[in-house]
Structures are given as structure tokens and as C-alpha cells.
Amino acid sequence: MERIYIKDIKNKINEEVKLAGWVDVRRDHGKLIFIDLRDMSGKVQMVALPNHKEARETAGKLRSEWVVEITGKVNKRPEKMVNKNEELGEVEVEMVGVKILNEAVTPVFEINDDGREVNEETRLTNRYLDLRRGRMQKNLRMRHEVIRFFRNYLSNKNFTEIETPLLTKSTPEGARDFVVPSRLYNGKFYALPQSPQQYKQLLMAAGMEKYFQIAKCLRDEDTRGDRQPEFTQLDLEMSFVEQKDVMNIIEEMLITAIKNLYPQKKIQQIPFPVLTHKEAMEKYNSDKPDLREDKNNPDLLAFCWVVDFPFFEKTDKGGWTFTHNPFSAPKPEHLEMLMKKENIGEILATQYDIALNGFEAGGGSVRNHKSEALEKVFEIMGFDKDKIWQDFGHMLKAFSSGTPPHGGIALGLDRLMMILQNEPNIREVIAFPKTGDARDLMMDSPSEISKEQLLELGIQIKKLNK
């Protein structure tokens, strides 16, 4: 007999089935022993009767979180015993055979509740247990459904999914890089990508025209509450487009995804309102305004676009840096100011952010696709020509080889899922997150490595006084 999933037993009334999963709860009522069995598809009540002596004896040994295989007969519950709060509350399984596949120590916390009262450090230390609870399973399964929807949607629009490298080059793009020492090239380092920004633009230079990726991004940033050192984004890029083309495809994709996967949610305004950065700051004092008319309604989604961001802002030292990334193009009417390096504070970028309920859900821009314009950006930032070519020579050469106009966007998947699942932070929608101070409590990382590994890499540790 083949194992079936619990959700399928509603079609097996009066039949014998084989199920496997975890003991959720065991209740001993003397002659009768009840257990709730759960698997990835659902949960069902089972009963061990005295007439199945061996099954009843084994059922009496069971404890929460033991892994078992059970054969039994699916029965309809009497009308007065129906549990209308459970999806399978109209049936129960009469246990005929019980096989213990693995015992379990007593869990450090309850698993058959939502876990919100449990200390987060305890939950993260025991994440494999925490993920067994229904709320967390639903979060991860809905994350899968959203990603699958995006993947299918973009594939049907002739986008090609392309993976880009995780071992790349350290370049000054904003945040601090995570670096990886090279054993083969002693004293040299790879960097983990802060985003696939350069690679996706190089794919446009390569003539791919429409690219997307579910991309891991890694940034060695200072501790901030709801930020992870690694996060996931839906990354895409398109050739021969203007700003409105990228915005339109993302807006249409989000609207369709929510209608299909979250029909209970209401999008406040379609099409999404568009605000300039100046309007958003003057009216809402935020470049990611929360436009919800009723902030107490958890199923209300207020998207909006924010456009016309300043390209540059002053640094603490009085120089200039980019506000989003150095690869954006200026608005066409401001290109001359960029090329002449005049009125730098007035140059606006073709940057567009999408905000949702007061969070930045994504951001993108039309890019510079000509090497001379990109060089000017780095000159404004104070880089000399040698430094520009050392760090970004590969981009400048590519742009000189016939690169088409292109633009793209990245949606923050973790943040989007947090809002869609009505969760308070992104850790609730990531399978194995770090703490707010970038530690993995379950794996106990970051951790020291052996002297032999350090020696092989030519690295000597010098403790910093902090």
C-alpha cells in the first residue's frame, strides 16, 4: 500500500490508507487513545481502539513530534463529533497498524500554536522545529507560490531566467562587500554580490534583451533591526525600453499575482498612483509613503510609484555620492548637466521606486548605456580615471561595444512576502534567517576557522579593539 497525503483522505471514506507524519498531540482517554497526525498537507484525528490491540499498545507509547507511519480505516465522524474548526474535522482514522519511524525529545516549545509568544532567539536556535508550525509552513509555501507565479509570468513574456555568479569583484557600489579570500591567488579576494546589477547590464550588452533571476544579494551592513546580511530579490532587466515600460510590466504582474494568489486582499488604487520624489517628501515626508486610507485593514494594499529622484547627494565629507546606484541614467533633459558636471545637485535620475504600505518594495532605473556618461558619474564622485578603469573597466568596455538602451528593477521578495502574509518582520518569511545583529543561532555562525585553513589562505587574524 502506498502512502497518501492527509489532505486526500476525504476521498477515501471506508477505505484503508497508509499515512506518515508527525504526532501533533496525543490524548489518552483510557480505553481510547487519540492522536492528531500532521504532514505537509494537513492534520487529522486518529483513534486507537481496544480491538486493534497491537496498534493501541504502540499508540500508547507515542509522544509529540515522534515520526510515525500509520495504516488505518477512514471513517466519517458522527454528526455530534464533527469538528467544524478543522479542515478534516468530518473524518477520523481508525488505527490498524502503527510503526514508529523515529522518536523525538520533548520540543523546547509548543509547535501546534503560532509561536508568537516564544522568544525569537529560542525560535531561531531551533528553526527546524519552528518551521514545523502551521503559520511558518504556510509562509514558506506562499512564498513558493508567489515566486512560481513571477517565474511563469515573466517566462510567458519572453524573459530568460539566467543565473549570475556569486563570486565576483569588489567594487564601490554603496554597501560594504562580503569578501572571500582566494586560496589559488594568494592575497586576492572575491566579493559576494550586493546585487546582480553589473552582470544584468552585461547581459543586455550580450544581446539577451529580457533577463530575470530570483537572486541572492549579500551586503555587509551595520546592524539594523529588520535587515538581513543576505536577502532575495526578483531581479530583471530589459533592452530597448523607457521608464514606463518597466513600470507597466511590474505593475501588471503584481496586480495579477495578488488577484490570483491573494483574492482576499484589496489593492487600493489601480493603476498605481505616481508621485515625484519632491511631491512625496513635501506631502508625506517620506520617499516610500504609506497611502492606505485605512491603516487598520491588514488586507489593504496601497502601492505607489515614486519617480524623479535626485541623482546625487552630498557626503559627510562634502563630496558627491549617488542616491541609488551609479549606473542609473539621468533624465534625458539633464544629460547635458551630467556631461558638463554642472548643477550636480539638480540632476534627476531615471529612478523609479515602488512603495507598498510604507515600505520600499522595489526599485529600478533606466541605465546609462554609454561609457562616457558612466565615466562622468564616477568623476563627479571623485574617482580618478585610473581608479574608474580599475574598478569598472569591464563595464566601460562593454558599453563601448554596442550596448542597447536598457532598464530594469528589483523587487524585494522578503519584504513583499512579509506584507502579503501580514507578518511583523522579514524573518518570518525566510526559512533560515539571521538575527538583527547578523548571527545564525542555529548553525552558530559566524564562527572561527582552523589555523590550517588560515595558513592555507595566507591570512593572519588581528583582533580589532571595538
pLDDT digits (tens, 9 = 90+) for 3-20: 999 999 999 999 999 999
Contact 272, 305 (CB under 8 A): yes
Residue 5 has which C-alpha cell?
Answer: 497525503
How far the first Cα of the chain sits from its last, in Å, is 63
From residue 259, alpha-carbon distances to 255, 267, 466 in Å are 6, 9, 51
Average pLDDT of the segment spanning 13-39: 95
Residue 281 has which C-alpha cell?
Answer: 517628501
- Torsion angle defined by CA atoms of residues 260, 264, 269 and 272, in that order, rounded to the nearest 10 degrees: -40
- DSSP conformation letters of 168-195: B----SSSPPPEEE-SSSTT-EEE--S-
List pLDDT tens digits, range 326-363. Answer: 899 999 999 999 998 889 999 999 999 999 999 999 99
Average pLDDT of the segment spanning 367-381: 92
Query: Could you give all domains of the chain from N- to C-terminal order, each with its CATH number?
Result: 6-102 (2.40.50.140), 130-439 (3.30.930.10)
- Beta 67-76 vs 16-29: how paired, if at all? antiparallel
Average pLDDT of the segment spanning 370-393: 90
Contact 399, 370 (CB under 8 A): yes
Average pLDDT of the segment spanning 405-416: 98
Instruction: Please state the three-class secondary structure of the chain as a single string.
Output: CCECCHHHHHHCCCCEEEEEEEEEEEEEECCEEEEEEEECCEEEEEEECCCCHHHHHHHCCCCCCCEEEEEEEEEECCHHHCCCCCCCCCEEEEEEEEEEEECCCCCCCCCCCCCCCCCHHHHHHCHHHHCCCHHHHHHHHHHHHHHHHHHHHHHHCCCEECCCCCCECCCCCCCCCCEEECCCCCCCEEECCCCCHHHHHHHHHCCCCEEEEEEEEECCCCCCCCCCCEEEEEEEEEECCCHHHHHHHHHHHHHHHHHHHCCCCEECCCCCCEEEHHHHHHHHCCCCCCCCCCCCCCCEECEEEEECCECEEECCCCCEEECCCCCECECHHHHHHHHHCCCHHHCEECEEEEEECCEEEEEEEEECCCHHHHHHHHHHCCCCHHHHHHHHHHHHHHHCCCCCCEEEEEEEHHHHHHHHCCCCCHHHHCCCCCCCCCCECCCCECCCCCHHHHHHHCCCCCCCCC
Is a pLDDT exceeding 70 seen at residue 466? no
Nearest one of 77, 14, 11, 9 to 38, comparing CA atoms: 9
Cα three-residue angle 100-102-105, rounded to 5 degrees: 120
Is a pLDDT exceeding 70 seen at residue 173? no
Residue 165, pLDDT score = 97
Q: What Rg, from alpha-carbon coordinates, does the chain have?
A: 28
Q: Of all residues in the chain, what percent carry a pLDDT higher than 90?
A: 86
Residue 431, pLDDT score = 98
Is a pLDDT exceeding 80 seen at residue 225? no
Entry field: residues in the chain? 466
Contact 189, 233 (CB under 8 A): no
Mean pLDDT, the chain, integer: 94
Residue 408, pLDDT score = 98
Q: Of all residues in the chain, what percent carry a pLDDT higher than 70?
A: 99
Residue 84, pLDDT score = 85
| 35 bridge partner residues | 26, 46
Rounded to whole angstroms, the Cα distance separating 131 from 140 reads 9
From residue 189, alpha-carbon distances to 169, 186, 198 in Å are 8, 8, 18
pLDDT bracket for residue 217 (50, 70, 90): very high
Collapsed DSSP state (helix, strand, coil) of residue 459: coil
Average pLDDT of the segment spanning 164-173: 89
From residue 236, alpha-carbon distances to 154, 164, 204, 334, 399 in Å are 9, 12, 11, 25, 19
Is a pLDDT exceeding 80 seen at residue 224? no
Rounded to whole angstroms, the Cα distance separating 368 from 405 reads 8
- Record the pTM: 0.94
Please, which residues have CB within 8 angstroms of residue 423's CB and are 6 or more apart in sequence? 139, 417, 429
Is a pLDDT exceeding 90 seen at residue 382? no
Cell 539571521, located at residue: 434
Cell 509548543, located at residue: 110
Residue 174, pLDDT score = 67
